[in-house]
């Protein structure tokens, strides 16, 4: 992060929102409204991860994407940015690379391993959208403190994970995930909300948040019959969004306080 790019208490953020099969317009607007609750935050909005100059100047990154694959150069820049102290709040389909296979099922090719390793997970499949229970794995952690187990109707993400994850919320699943190449899953716990610390920074990942409008399944389907809001209808989801944004901003205040303390320690005696 280029700390010289921030003056007068300003906090620089990036929102990357784009991709397939989701109501990106709705998610983008909701996230911008939540970010606007913080008067010091200024946001730049992009459809991909390729503006590396903006990334270098950013204090934090929030992403809501699906099938948006960074170039190798962008993957390397994202990894280094996190290791050097960046905080990245990644939502829902950010960790997805999905392709329709010749047999009609959806595959998830390993095309961006560095990107997935930085995120800490890679989407592989989900069962049909139906209610499931989210439980609290670490009730004492500030990001989930006071949140009780809750039921949600959303995509229940089944993933491959990487590295040492601090799991905050989780769910249980075992059974079929029809329509995906990886369609058989042994009963196990799966992360829903976790922190993947790396170097001086970290990724915070939340798998919840599917949304879809009538026209978002094109070209697979001209018209989707319903408007799906899933977790966006739950107060718990907005609590997690707000706390995640505050988690991103918290690092900036800590770094600023450390810089002030260092400046005071190095000031010449009068």
Domains of the chain, CATH where assigned: 3-266 (3.40.50.880)
Q: How many Cβ atoms from other residues are within 10 Å of residue 142's Cβ? A: 12
Q: How many residues does the chain have?
A: 270
pLDDT at 8: 77
pLDDT score of 251 more than 90: no
**pTM score, two decimals?**
0.93
Alpha helices in the chain (DSSP H): 24-35, 52-57, 72-83, 113-119, 235-266
Q: Are 89 and 61 in contact (CB under 8 A)?
A: yes
Mean pLDDT score of the chain: 93
pLDDT at 6: 57
User: 191-246, pLDDT tens digit by residue?
Assistant: 999 999 999 999 999 999 999 999 999 999 999 999 999 999 999 999 999 999 99
| CA 268/CA 263 separation, integer angstroms | 10
pLDDT score of 260 more than 50: no
Residues sharing a CB contact under 8 Å with residue 31, sequence separation 6 or more, in sequence order: 15, 17, 62, 64, 241
């Amino acid at each position: 992060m280029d700390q010289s790019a921030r003056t007068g208490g300003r906090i620089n953020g990036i929102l990357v929102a784009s991709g397939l099969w989701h109501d990106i317009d709705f998610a983008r607007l909701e996230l911008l409204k939540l970010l606007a609750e913080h008067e010091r935050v200024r946001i730049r909005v992009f459809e991909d991860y390729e503006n590396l100059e903006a990334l270098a100047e950013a204090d934090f990154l929030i992403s809501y994407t699906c099938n948006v694959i960074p170039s190798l150069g962008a993957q390397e820049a994202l990894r280094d940015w996190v290791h050097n102290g960046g905080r990245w709040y990644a939502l829902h389909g950010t960790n997805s690379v999905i392709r329709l296979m010749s047999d009609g099922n959806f595959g998830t090719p390993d095309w961006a391993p560095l990107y997935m390793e930085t995120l800490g997970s890679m989407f592989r499949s989900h069962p049909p959208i139906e209610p499931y229970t989210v439980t609290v794995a670490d009730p004492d952690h500030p990001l989930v403190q006071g949140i009780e187990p809750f039921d949600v109707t959303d995509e229940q993400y089944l993933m491959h994970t990487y590295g040492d994850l601090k799991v905050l919320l989780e769910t249980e699943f075992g059974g079929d995930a029809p329509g995906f190449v990886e369609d058989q899953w042994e009963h196990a716990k799966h992360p829903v909300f976790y922190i993947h610390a790396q170097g001086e920074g970290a990724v915070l990942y939340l798998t919840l948040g599917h949304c879809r409008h009538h026209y978002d399944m094109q070209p697979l389907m001209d018209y989707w019959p319903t408007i799906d809001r899933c977790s966006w209808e739950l107060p718990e989801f907005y609590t997690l969004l707000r706390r995640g944004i505050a988690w991103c901003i918290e690092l900036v205040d800590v770094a600023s306080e450390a810089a002030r303390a260092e400046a005071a320690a190095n000031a010449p005696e009068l």
